[in-house]
Every structure is written in C-alpha cells, then in structure tokens.
C-alpha cells in the first residue's frame, strides 16, 4: 500500500476485513433464511428443488420432498423435472438462432413453412407466434371442446398443426391483442425442424444445450422413454396424492426436461449474450400491439418489475409439474424453482427467495376511506367481460368488498379498488373496468343471476356441432340440470350451470352463450374461453 503510513494501512486493512466479514455474515444469514423457507415443505410429500446464482455463479441449491412417492426417492438439486411453459424461451431462442443464421426472418409468413395453415386475410408472421399476438386459438382448448383435453390422449406437434389448420377465424384481428396460446409455440417448433432439417430436439441439443453445457436437459418428445433421475409428477386427489404425468409427445410449447442447475446456466448465458447478443436482445424486446400499446410479453419471456426492479421471467405448469425461472439482471440475481407437486406455487416460492436478496418492496400508499355502506350494498354481483371469458364475482364481506376466489379489494378512492397490482374502476353506468399494470383495460358488464325454468332449459336440449373442433356434442337434461355430453367421449359428460340469461358455465372454466334466431329459437351457442374466443357451435338436431 504505497503512499499510506502504517496506521492508515492498518485502518484500510481493518475496514476491508470488516467489509468482508459483513459480506460473509450476510451470505450466511441468507443461506439460513433460505433453509427456513425450504424447510416449510413436507419432506414426505412431492416437493421442489431451488437454485440461486449471483453474478453468474451458482451460490445456493436446496431441495425438499420426494421425487417418487412409491419408492421414497428424495428430490435433490440434480433431479430432473418438466419445466412447462418455461420451455417457451428455449423455442424462441431456437427460432432466433435461425434468424441469426440468416435462414428465416421474424417477418416471414408462417405459411411459407407451414402451407397447411389457412389464410386469414393478413399474413401471420413468425414474430406473431413468439409474442402471442397471432390470435390463433389454443389447440389444447379446442381439443377439450371435443371432449379430449390435454392429458386424456397423446397429442403430438403434428396433431396441434392439424387442429390449428381447421380454424377458420382468429380470436381477434391479427396483432391487435394478446392472448396466450400454446399453438404459436407448437408451430414455431415445427418451423425450426422444417427449416433446419433436424428434429427440434436435435437442433436444440446441438445449438443450445451442448454448447452451453446443459448436460441434464432434453425434450419430452417420446413420453414412453425412460429418463433416469426424473421426478414423477403428482396432484392432490380425494384419497391423497395421485400421479399426474404429461403423457403427450407435443413439445416446444412445453416439454423441456431439465434441472435447476441447467436453468441457472441458461439464465447466465442469456445475461452474457452467449448465444449472440442479438438473441438475448430480441428475446427481451416487448411486443407492441397494432394500437401502439406495449405488452409485458416479449419472445418467450415476461418483462415485468418486482420490488421496483426489472424482472425477466416465465412460469410453467404441465400435469403435476410446476416451474418458475427468473432473473434480475440489474442485481445479478437468478432464481430457478422446479416442483413435482400440482398444488405448489413455484412463482410465490421464487419471490420469497428473491425477497432475501432484493431491496425491500416500496411502502404501499395508505388505503383510502373504508368502503361505504352504499358501495357494499350496490357493488356485489356477477360481472361478465366484454368480448372475453372473464368473470368477476364481487361480494360484501364485513366492511369491505371481496373478489370471490381472489383477494379482498382495497379502497383506492370513490368507486375505485385495488386487487394487488390491478385497479378496478366502476363507471357511472355500473360497468366495471379492470386496469392491468401493462395498460390493458377489460370492461365488465353486471349481469343479473339467471334462474331458467324447466321449459327454458328444455329448449336448449339438442345436438350441436363444430367443424373447427371436429366435434359433435349433446346437451341433455339430468335431474333438472343441463349436461354436455361429447359424442366421441360420453364418459366426459359434465354439468353446465346457469350464470346469467342465456349464459352458462362450461367444463374447463369457459362460458357459453346461447344464440337465437329472430323468433327466439335456439340456433347454437358460442364458447368463450381463456384462450379460445367466440367459438361457434351450431345446432344440428333436437
């Protein structure tokens, strides 16, 4: 330490020693807190593995629970799980690798590579697929309308293409809205295979996994293949835990088999631009709708904020697997969570871990005045979203409003309430706006409850068909209630409950609205789901 006298040098050394000691104590405290978080889980039940890296260096791995209940095999940090939709970023990276190679363009019409797809007036581009702005209906939800949801039979990417190719309409005008759909990523995987001349699994192995050293990662392209070290997936059932494995051969939209360690390698590669700076940049470039609104989805990644810092992440759920992968590049922090429990909340666990490393969350503004008695009497009821499947049920609970199935609503001014990051605003006419952080606004109309008579229910009984779903279903009456019976799978019969006039709940969480002719006769119904909008069935028999 040239230039310092002996006493000054001692003071510097002492300060450095104290700083190092403080850093070690902080790291140990975080490790202890992480141990406490993980220890909450039942070691004899399905569980999770978690991994944390700082500045690209893995620092913490933890695991708790059983990978195989039948044999009592514990989960370890090396256990392989299925990552669900966390997989989408790998598909996006594969596409962008081909863009970087000069073999395709994001602006290319997908029909150049998928001539089986119909035209919709304007070309759907590869970029529309990656940003969920194509309007393409989710193939799994369409399949469910025929009585065969995912998990009930083995689906492949070719079958996803076949379902998509039958659709004569989009959910919305191309590029004008965002709707999450697995169809886009199933088709993107097919494009990668057709352009590269390799299977999608081989291409990603050669261009992504092997170069990065992700030695435990592969695709579930053959569900019958034995995968050593893989955790079985479970879902709570009436008699306890039961298997819930994704028995299908479709992948690209999901289907990545991996470990928390490999996912941390991947995050570090994206942060450092190891696949090419343009790949990372394009993956993190948020999409902009035709109306000019920027959305949170980029290409295989959500770009949001947590604790007022930038978060780049994606969650996943397939069968009983749950996953979350995120990074906070400005803080040099990455977190991976993989679970084999269908009731696990991987995202919540990840954020509990993030809380150990990130600055404290900003102090929430104090709530406005309590909800008035007039508001409590006026606001409860069923609200139905305009042009989509959204339903909000509000109820008075004590001295506040509550969203059934959701959080209590915090008053934020006259006719305004907060539900987490979402703002609910009542219009003077009683309609409700749901304002999301990304700027999107959903409008909900209040609908009075319906109590149809037996005759009114009987008028709906009949046979209905959809060429797009390749399905015929029967709506019948059982014990005074309507039941929907898929012709191709009668065992999947399910009740449909009245919600509002001519509106009924539908299996899987959707809503149907009965359509009528000029004389009031029932002519069909239109289905509204989370990923399939305004889907028509016509009446073909009584």
- What confidence tens digit (pLDDT) does each residue in 137-168 have? 999 999 999 999 999 999 999 999 999 999 99
**Is the same domain home to 466 and 418?**
no
Q: Give pLDDT tens digits for 384-440.
A: 887 766 788 898 887 788 888 777 788 888 889 988 888 999 999 989 999 988 778
Residue with tokens 């009965």: 514
Quote the Cα angle for 343-444-305, to 5°.
50
Q: Are strands 522-528 and 400-403 parallel, antiparallel or unpaired?
A: unpaired
CATH number assigned to the domain comprising residue 438: 2.40.128.520
b/e sequence 103-132, b meaning 16+ C-beta within 10 Å = ebebebbbeebbeebeebeeebbbbbbbbb
Residue after which a domain boundary falls, among 400, 429, 447: 447
Rank 235-239, 322-326, 419-423, 424-428 by mean pLDDT and report only the highest.
322-326
**Is the same domain home to 320 and 202?**
yes
Q: What is the 3-state secondary structure (H, E, C) of 204-237?
A: HHHHHHHHHCCCCCEECCCCCCCCCCECCCEEEE
b/e sequence 39-56, b meaning 16+ C-beta within 10 Å = eebeeebbbbbbbbbeee
- Write down the pLDDT at residue 536: 97
Round to whole Å and give the CA distance between 271 and 282: 12
Contacts of residue 47, Cβ cutoff 8 Å, sequence gap at least 6: 41, 63, 64, 65, 66, 75, 339, 340, 341, 344
Half-sphere exposure of 87 (CA within 13 A, CB side): 32
**Is the same domain home to 328 and 426?**
no
In a domain, 461, yes or no: yes
In a domain, 184, yes or no: no
Q: Are strands 494-495 and 481-486 parallel, antiparallel or unpaired?
A: antiparallel
Half-sphere exposure of 107 (CA within 13 A, CB side): 0
Angle, to 10 degrees, between the axis of helix 88-100 and the axis of helix 182-196? 40
Residue percentage of the chain with pLDDT more than 90: 79
Residue with tokens 């109306």: 291
The token duo for 6 is: 């002996």
3-state secondary structure of 347: helix
In a domain, 397, yes or no: yes
**Is the same domain home to 408 and 320?**
no
Residue after which a domain boundary falls, among 447, 468, 489: 447
Return the higher-pLDDT residue of 4 and 384: 384
Contact 410, 466 (CB under 8 A): no
DSSP string, 490-517: GGG-EE--EEETTEEEETTTEEEEEEE-
Cα separations (Å) of 50 from 77, 235, 484? 7, 20, 42
- Write down the pLDDT at residue 508: 84
CA-based nearest residue to 263, from 193, 327, 325: 325
The token duo for 538 is: 């016509």
Mean pLDDT of 264-276: 97
- Write down the pLDDT at residue 389: 64
Confidence bin at 25 (pLDDT 50/70/90)? low
**Is the same domain home to 269 and 291?**
yes
**Is the same domain home to 248 and 277?**
yes
**Is the same domain home to 517 and 387?**
no
In a domain, 348, yes or no: yes
In a domain, 134, yes or no: no
Contacts of residue 236, Cβ cutoff 8 Å, sequence gap at least 6: 242, 342, 343
Quote the Cα angle for 367-369-373, to 5°.
130
Residue percentage of the chain with pLDDT more than 70: 93
Among left, alpha and beta (phi > 0; psi -120 to 50; other), residue 400 is beta
**Is the same domain home to 89 and 206?**
yes
Contact 342, 235 (CB under 8 A): yes
CA-based nearest residue to 341, from 2, 10, 20, 45: 45
User: What global pTM score does this model have?
Assistant: 0.91
Q: What is the mean pLDDT of the chain?
A: 92
* Cα of 431 vs its chain's centroid, Å: 28
Confidence bin at 12 (pLDDT 50/70/90)? low
pLDDT for 462 beyond 60: yes
Residues shown for the chain: 542
Residue 302: which H helix or E strand, with range?
strand 302-306
- Write down the pLDDT at residue 388: 65
**Is the same domain home to 336 and 220?**
yes
In a domain, 287, yes or no: yes
Round to whole Å and give the CA distance between 24 and 20: 6
Quote the Cα angle for 492-495-498, to 5°.
150
Confidence bin at 441 (pLDDT 50/70/90)? confident
Query: Residue 475 forms beta bridges with which residues?
Result: 462, 484
**Is the same domain home to 382 and 529?**
no
- Write down the pLDDT at residue 122: 96
In a domain, 21, yes or no: no
Round to whole Å and give the CA distance between 406 and 404: 5
Contacts of residue 123, Cβ cutoff 8 Å, sequence gap at least 6: 109, 110, 111
Confidence bin at 366 (pLDDT 50/70/90)? low
How many domains, in total, are found in the chain?
Answer: 3
CATH number assigned to the domain comprising residue 533: 2.40.128.50
DSSP string, 165-197: HT--S-SSSTTSS----HHHHHHHHHHHHHHHS
Contact 117, 124 (CB under 8 A): yes
Return the higher-pLDDT residue of 151 and 195: 195
pLDDT for 308 beyond 80: yes
In a domain, 221, yes or no: yes
Mean pLDDT of 270-296: 96
Rank 23-27, 174-178, 361-365, 507-511 by mean pLDDT and report only the highest.
174-178
**Is the same domain home to 389 and 474?**
no
pLDDT for 514 beyond 70: yes
Quote the Cα angle for 274-278-280, to 5°.
60
Round to whole Å and give the CA distance between 261 and 80: 10
Confidence bin at 249 (pLDDT 50/70/90)? very high
Q: Give 292's DSSP letter.
A: S
Round to whole Å and give the CA distance between 352 and 334: 13
**Is the same domain home to 424 and 315?**
no
Q: Are strands 321-328 and 333-339 parallel, antiparallel or unpaired?
A: antiparallel
Query: Residue 49 forms beta bridges with which residues?
Result: 63, 338
Confidence bin at 484 (pLDDT 50/70/90)? very high
Residue after which a domain boundary falls, among 423, 447, 471: 447
pLDDT for 373 beyond 80: no
Least confident of 96-110, 284-298, 349-363, 370-384: 370-384
- Write down the pLDDT at residue 364: 61
Q: Which domain holds residue 203?
A: 81-94+197-354
Confidence bin at 274 (pLDDT 50/70/90)? very high
- Write down the pLDDT at residue 398: 79
Confidence bin at 20 (pLDDT 50/70/90)? low
CATH number assigned to the domain comprising residue 222: 3.40.710.10
């Amino acid at each position: 330490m040239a230039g310092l006298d002996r006493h000054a040098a001692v003071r510097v050394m002492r300060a450095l020693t104290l700083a190092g000691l403080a850093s070690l104590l902080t790291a140990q405290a975080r490790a202890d807190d992480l141990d406490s978080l993980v220890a909450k889980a039942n070691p004899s039940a399905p569980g999770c593995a978690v991994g944390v890296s700082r500045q690209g260096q893995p620092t913490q791995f933890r695991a708790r629970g059983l990978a195989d209940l039948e044999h009592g095999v514990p989960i370890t940090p090396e256990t392989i799980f299925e990552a669900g939709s966390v997989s989408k970023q790998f598909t996006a990276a594969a596409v962008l690798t081909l863009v970087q190679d000069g073999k395709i363009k994001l602006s290319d019409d997908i029909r150049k590579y998928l001539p089986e797809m119909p035209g919709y007036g304007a070309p759907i581009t590869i970029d529309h697929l990656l940003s969920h702005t194509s309007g393409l209906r989710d193939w799994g939800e369409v399949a469910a309308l025929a009585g065969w949801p995912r998990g009930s039979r083995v689906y492949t990417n070719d079958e996803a293409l076949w379902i998509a190719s039958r659709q004569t309409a989009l959910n919305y005008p191309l590029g004008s809205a965002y709707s999450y759909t697995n169809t886009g990523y199933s088709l993107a995987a097919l494009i990668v295979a057709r352009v590269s001349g390799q299977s999608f699994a081989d291409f990603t192995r050669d261009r992504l996994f092997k170069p990065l050293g992700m030695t435990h990662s592969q695709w579930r392209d053959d569900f019958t293949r034995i995968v050593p070290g893989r955790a079985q997936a479970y879902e709570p059932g009436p008699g306890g835990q039961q298997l819930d494995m994704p028995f299908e051969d479709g992948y690209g939209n999901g289907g990545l088999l991996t470990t928390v360690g490999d996912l941390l390698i991947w995050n570090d590669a994206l942060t450092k631009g190891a696949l090419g700076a343009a790949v990372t940049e394009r993956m993190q470039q948020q999409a902009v709708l035709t109306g000019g609104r920027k959305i949170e989805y980029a290409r295989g990644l959500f770009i949001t904020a947590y604790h007022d810092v930038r978060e780049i992440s994606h969650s996943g759920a397939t069968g009983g697997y749950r996953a979350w992968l995120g990074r906070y590049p400005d803080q040099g922090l990455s977190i991976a969570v993989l679970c084999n429990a269908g009731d696990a909340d991987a995202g919540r666990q990840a954020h509990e871990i993030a809380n150990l490393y990130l600055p404290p969350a900003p102090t929430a503004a104090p709530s406005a005045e309590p909800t008035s008695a007039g508001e409590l009497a006026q606001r409860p009821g069923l609200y139905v979203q305009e042009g989509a499947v959204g339903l909000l049920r509000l109820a008075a609970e004590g001295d506040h409003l509550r969203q059934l199935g959701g959080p209590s609503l915090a008053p934020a001014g006259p006719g305004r309430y907060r539900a987490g990051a979402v703002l609910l605003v009542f219009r003077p006419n009683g309609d409700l706006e749901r304002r999301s952080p990304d700027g999107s606004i959903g409008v909900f109309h209040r609908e009075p409850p319906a109590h149809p008579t037996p005759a009114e229910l009987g008028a709906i009984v009949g046979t209905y068909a959809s060429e797009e779903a390749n399905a015929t279903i029967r709506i019948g009456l059982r014990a005074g209630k309507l039941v929907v019976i898929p012709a191709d799978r009668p065992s999947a019969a399910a009740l449909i409950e009245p919600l509002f006039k001519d509106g009924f709940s539908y299996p899987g969480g959707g809503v149907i609205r009965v359509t009528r002719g000029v004389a009031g006769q029932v002519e069909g119904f239109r289905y509204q789901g989370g990923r399939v909008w305004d889907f028509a069935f016509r009446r073909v028999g009584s």
